[in-house]
Chains A and B, each alone.
Chain A
Amino acid sequence: MIKNVEQLNFLRDKMRKEMALRRGVEAEAAEMGGRMQILVCGVAGCQSSGSLGVYNELKNLIETNKLEDEIKIISTGCMGLCALGPLMVVYPGRVMYTKVKPEDVAEIFQSHIMEGKPVERLFAVDNDGTKIADALGQHSFYTKQLKIALKNCGTIDPYSIEEYIGVDGYQALAKVLKEMDPEDVVDTMKESNLRGRGGAGFPTGMKWAFAASQQKRQKYVCCNADEGDPGAFMDRSVLEGDPHSVIEAMAIAGYAIGSNQGYVYVRAEYPVAVKTLKAAIQQAKEYGFLGQNILGTDFSFDLEVRLGAGAFVCGEETALMTSIEGHRGEPKPRPPFPAVKGLFGEPTILNNVETYATIPRIILNGAEWFNSIGTEKSKGTKVFAVGGKIERTGLVEVPMGTTLREIVFDMCGGIPNGKEFKAAQTGGPSGGCIPAEALDTPIDYDNLIALGSMMGSGGLIVMDEDTCMVDLARFFLDFTFDESCGKCSPCRLGTKRMYEILEKITQGKGELEDIEKLEVLARNIKNSALCGLGQTAPNPILSTLRYFKDEYMAHVVDKTCPAGVCKSIIKFKIDNELCRSCGICKKHCPVGAISGDKQNPYIIDQDKCIKCGVCAQKCPFNSILHRERKGV
C-alpha cells in the first residue's frame, strides 16, 4: 500500500533501476545484476500469430540454461507493427525481431543471447529494403510516430503496476492531489486543448468544466472502451498494454469534477483487455491508487468494470450509460447532456480510452507542451489502427497534422502487390472515404470533416483499386442497419432503405432515380436521427457519392462494376487476341460454361457462368478479364 508521495517516489526509483536496460542505461542495469531483458508482445495481434509459443520456448530455454537471474522475459502490450508479428525486442540494444516463430527462438537464443550476435534475417525490413536492428528507433514505421497515449504500450508489463510506476506511473495523480486544486486540473485540461479521441472531438476540458460546475453530491466518471468500429483496435491495445494509464486518468478526472466512482464500459468481445484491466484495477486498489484516502489525501475514488454485450450503439454516450444502468442500450435525446444529467441521472463525464491515456502526460508535462504538438485546432497526437489493403497493418500514433500519405506510404509501406491506392476510410461506419486527391491533407478533426469523413475513434482502412466504392458503402450500411438500436425511425428504417437501394445498385438493378433517393435519404437521416450513430450512418454513402459518383453511374447506367467486385453484374470475358486456345479454362470451369476448341474461339456462356473467377485465375495468358483492362 502506497500511503504517500515519498513511498511512490521510492518505488519509482527502484523500478527505474530495474528497468534501466529498457531506458538504455546499461551501467545502472549492471548494478542490479540483470544482463538482458527480452520483450515479447503478448496481446491479441501477436498472440494470434503465435507469440505465446515464442514466449514459452524462450522461457524454456532460459530455464534449462538456468539464466533466470540474468535474463528477464516480459510479456508486453502491442508494439504496433502487427503485420510483422510476433514481435520480440531484446535489450540491451533494442533489437527487434519480426515474424518470430517458436522454431526461430533457439537460433536467437544461441546466436544473440549466448554469443552476442543478433539474427539479422529476422530484422524488420524498411521501405528501401534495408534490414534494421533497432526498428523501434530507426524503422520508418516508427520514426514518424510520437507516442503519448501508447507511450508505455509494448514497453512495460501490463500486469505489473510496479513497472508502470517505474515509468512515472501515478505521478500525475500524485501531482494533482498534492499540488493542484480541482479547478486547476480542469483549467489545465482546458488549456491543453485536448479533444475527445472517441470520434466527435469535443474539448475534454470543457466537458470536465460542465461536470465540475454541477452542485451535486454524486457524480460519475465513465470510460468508453466499447470500441466498435470494424477494424479499430486502439483502445483495446491501450487496455491490454497500459491499463494503469486509464485508471490513473480516471482518478484524476474524479478529483477534477468531484466524483468518487468510475465505470469502465468494455465490450465483452475483448477478453484479454477485460482481464488485464480487471487485474490492473485490483492492483491499483492494493497499492492504494483506488479506494479511500488516496495517497493520504481526502480524495477517494473507486472503479468498476461493466461489460458491453456487443451492441455498436452502446459506444454512443447516452446509450452506454443506459446500458450501465442495466437497461436496453439505447440513446436518449440531448440536452440534458451527461455532464448535467448522465449516469443514474447524475452529472457524468465520459471519455474514451485513448483520451484518458493521454491525460497523465498532459498533467506531468503541462498544457503548453501538449499545445506544441499538432495543428492549430487539433492538438497532440492521434492513434490510428491501419488496416485493409496495406503492406504493414498495425497501430501508429502520429502528431495531428500528419498526412495520410505519410501514414499510408512512408510508415505503413503503401499498397501491396503494386496496386494503386484508391481511398482510405476513417471513422469506420460513421466516417467517409478520403480519395487519393486528399492524400496530402494534414489529418485533424476539422480537415477530416471538411473532406466528408470524420476522425472517428481512429480506424483507418486502406482500399486499393480492387475496391468497389458502391460495394464499400453497401458494406458499411449493412453494418449500421443491423447495429441501429431501432429507437428512432430515420435510423431504424432509413439505414435499411439505403442499404436496400445500394444492394439494388450493386446487383445492377439500380435506376437513376435510386441515386436521387439515396441522396434524399442520406441528407435527411443525417439531419434527423436521434444519436450520432444515425446521424453519421449516411457518411459512407455521402462521401462515396461525392468522390466516386462515376462508379455509381457505371453500376446504374452501364450496369458494370469498374472494380470488378459486384458479382451480379460483372462478366468474365475471354480476350480472343490473347487467347491461345489452350483449353485450360474450359477444363477448370466447374459449371461447364466455357466452350471452344482450336478451331472455334473460346467463349463463356454468361447464363451458365457463376462468376467464380477460376478461369481467370487459371488462364496462363491473362486473357480472361472481368473488367476493363487498366490503361485500355
Chain B
Amino acid sequence: MRNVNITIDGIKTSVPGNYTILEAAKAVNIFIPTLCYLRDVNEIGCCRMCLVETKGGKALQAACVTPVAEGMEIYTHSPKVVEARKVNLELILSNHVTRCQTCSRSWTSCELQTLANKLGVEAVRFEGEATKHTQDIGVSIVRDNNKCILCRRCVSVCKNVQTVGVIDAIGRGFHTEIGSPFDRKLADTPCVNCGQCVNVCPVGALHEKTDTDVVWNALNDPELHVVVQTAPAVRAALGESFGMPIGTAVTGKMVTALRMIGFDKVFDTDTAADLTIMEESNELIDRVRSGGKLPMITSCSPGWIKFCEHYFPEYLDNLSTCKSPHMMFGSIIKTYYAKKAGIDPSKIFTVSVMPCTAKKFEAKRPEMEVDGLRDVDAVITTRELASMIYDIGIDFPNLPDDVFDDPFGIASGAGVIFGTTGGVMEAALRTATDILSGSSTDNIEYEEIRGFEGIKVAECTVGEVRLRAAVAHGLGNARKLLNQIKAGELEVDFIEIMACPNGCINGGGQPIQSSDIRNWSNVSQRRAEALYSEDRNMYVRKSHNNPAVKRLYKDYLGMAGGTLSHKLLHTHYHEREKYPEID
C-alpha cells in the first residue's frame, strides 16, 4: 500500500494509504477515544466518540472508519470535536442505567465509565426518558438491555464472526434495542451460548449467568465433597483479573486460591484432556481402519456442538462421540474417584472452572449423567472464579504456588495446549502418530496448525496411513470449512473445531480486556504463548504417556473405546430446530 502524507494536529506524517484516521493518529501517539469500535469485529462508526475534524469537511468524521487521504488535515481535539464527543457521551449516559456499584463491569472493565472519566464528563445535561427492558436470563448468558448502549459489537461478533446472527437491532429510533428474531429469549433461538457477545460488550449489558452462589452453597454444605477442575485456558488468563500482565500463567496460584476457597479436591482438566485424546485417537484410528464416517470432528467445544446441531445436522455423525474433557472428568470423578476415595458419589459435587459460557449449557444437557448422577454439577467461568477469589479477599498475585491433587495431579503438555486453537489436533496427532507407528515420535510441535489463521490444514503420514487434518476456530471459519468440505474443495480425515475465535483462550468466559487493549495488541497471542510455554516445560508432553491416564485405564476403564469408556465418556447428539414453536 502506498503511503499518503497527512497532518494530524499539526504533526506532518506519512502513513500507509489503507490506514484509518484512528490508526494514523495512533501511529503518531495521539489517542482518539473510541467506544463502538473493535478492530476486525465492529467497524461501523455508530457511537460517534472518535469524531475528528478534517479541513474542508462539513460534518465531523468517525476516525475509526474514515480512511486517510493524501493531503488530509486532521484535528483530533478541536473545540468542535471535544464538544461533540462530550455531548454524544452525555446522550449515551442519559439512556444508560448507571447503577455502577452493582454492575459486574464497573470495577473491571466498563469502557463507558472509563471514557466518561477520560473525557471529563461531570454531569449529564440531557436527562430524559429512559428505555425500559426486561432481562433475558438464559442458562449461559444474561442480556440486560437497560445497560446496552447499542454499540452493536455483540451483533457484529454474532453475525459476522460467528455467523450465528441471533441478535440484531430491532425497533427503531429511540426505541431501538438489541434483540433476537421475534423478540424471543436467546434460549429459544439457535444461539450457541459461545459468549463472544459477552466478551465484546463494553458495558454490563451482557454477562454470564452467574453460578457462584450455587458453588458457595455446595462449599458451605458439610455433607458435600466438593471437587473442582480447571480448564487449560483458565490459567492463561485468570491473572488478568488481578492486574497481572496478559499472558501470565498462574497455574500454581490458582490451585492455592481454590484450596483457600475451600474445595476439597483441586483437579486439572488437562488430565481429562489427555483422557479425551486417548478416546478420540482411538475413535479416529478405528474410523480410519474400519471405513467409518470421516472426517471425524472434535467435540470438545459445546458451542460448536450446538452450532452443528442447529446448522449442520448432516455432520452429526461426523462428530466424535467423546464427551468434552470436563464432562468426562465429571463422570470419572463420580465413579472411579468416588470408589477409590471411598466417597458416596451422590455426596460429591463437581465444579468446573471454564473459560466458557457454553459449558454451562453443556453441563445441563439431559444426557450428561451416569446412573442418575450429573457429570458436572456447576460450571463457573474464569471471571466468576476471579470474583470468588475477590469474595474472600485473597491477595492473588502474591500467593505461593501449589500443585493439583492426586490421583489426577499429572497432566501432559498435550492437555495444556487444548486451550488454544490447534491444540486438540496437535495433541491428537502426537498420540495418533505414536500409536500408528508403534514407536515414539520426537517431532511433536506442529507449527502448521498453530497460530490464528482461520482455517489451518496439516498432513502427516505414518507408515501407510496418511492423516489429513484441518483446524478451524470461530464458527464463521467452521462454517466456511464445512462448506468447503461439502463442496468437495477440501478432503480431510480429522477436523478440530473450536467455537471461539482463537480457541478457548479467547472463550466467552475469560476476563474481558477493553477494546483499548484488544485493538492494539493480540491478547490471544499472549495467552496462547503462556500455554505453549507451559507445554514446553512439561516432562510429559503426550497424552498417552500421562501416568495418571495410564493408571485409570489399567485400574478401571480397561481399554480406550471399551464398554465402560462408552458408558462414562461418550455421548450422542441430536438435530435441533432453529426456531422451535413456543407457547
* A residues apposed to B, CB below 8 Å: 311, 313, 328, 330, 332-333, 335-336, 481-490, 492-497, 500, 517, 520-521, 523-524, 526-530, 535
Contacts and interface: CB of A to CB of B under 8 A. Distances in A.
A489 B89 CA distance: 8
A528 B60 contact: yes
A110 B87 CA distance: 70
B14 to A, nearest CB: 20
Given A481-B174, A496-B174, A530 B94 contact: no
Interface stretch (B40-48, B490-498, B505-513): B40-48
Contact of A485 (B91, B128, B149, B176): B176
A484 B150 CA distance: 14
Most buried by B among A335, A489, A497, A527: A489
A443 B48 CA distance: 34
Given A492-B150, A493-B92, A520-B87, A487 B173 contact: no
B59 A529 contact: yes
Interface string B58-71: 01101001110000
B152 to A, nearest CB: 8
Interface bin, chain B = 35 or more
Given A332-B44, A494-B91, A528-B60, A486 B129 contact: no
A283 B51 CA distance: 49
8 contacts: A311-B172, A481-B173, A486-B171, A486-B173, A488-B45, A490-B84, A528-B87, A528-B88
A494 B149 CA distance: 14
A487 B128 contact: no
A500 B172 CA distance: 17
B83 interface: yes
A328 B168 contact: yes
A484 B173 contact: yes
Contacts of A486: 150, 169, 171-176
B67 A335 contact: yes
Contacts of B66: 333, 335
B95 A493 contact: yes
Given A524-B87, A528-B60, A492 B173 contact: yes
Contacts of B129: 496, 500
A487 B156 CA distance: 13
Contacts of B46: 487-489, 530
Nearest to B126: A497
A311 B169 CA distance: 14
B125 interface: yes
B184 interface: no
The 4 closest A-B pairs by CB, nearest first: A486-B176, A493-B91, A496-B174, A484-B173
Contacts of A490: 48, 84, 87-88, 91
B126 A517 contact: yes
Interface in B114-136: 125-126, 128-129
B21 to A, nearest CB: 11
Interface of B: 44-48, 51, 59-60, 62, 65-67, 80, 83-84, 87-88, 91-92, 94-95, 125-126, 128-129, 149-150, 152, 168-169, 171-176
Nearest to A311: B172
A496 B128 contact: yes
Contacts of A330: 169
B173 A527 contact: no
B90 to A, nearest CB: 9
B128 A500 contact: yes
A530 B171 CA distance: 18
B91 A497 contact: yes
Contacts of A527: 51, 59-60, 80, 84
A309 B514 CA distance: 38
Contacts of B62: 333, 530
Nearest to B170: A328
A311 B176 CA distance: 13
Contacts of A493: 91-92, 94-95, 126, 174
A524 B65 contact: no
Contacts of B83: 520, 523-524
A516 to B, nearest CB: 9
Contact of B126 (A521, A523, A526): A521
Most buried by B among A485, A492, A523, A529: A492
A486 B60 CA distance: 19
Contacts of A500: 128-129
A496 B60 contact: no
A484 B174 CA distance: 7
B388 to A, nearest CB: 36
B128 A530 contact: no
Contacts of A520: 83, 87, 125
A486 B91 CA distance: 13
A454 B60 CA distance: 19
Contacts of B173: 481-486, 492, 495-496
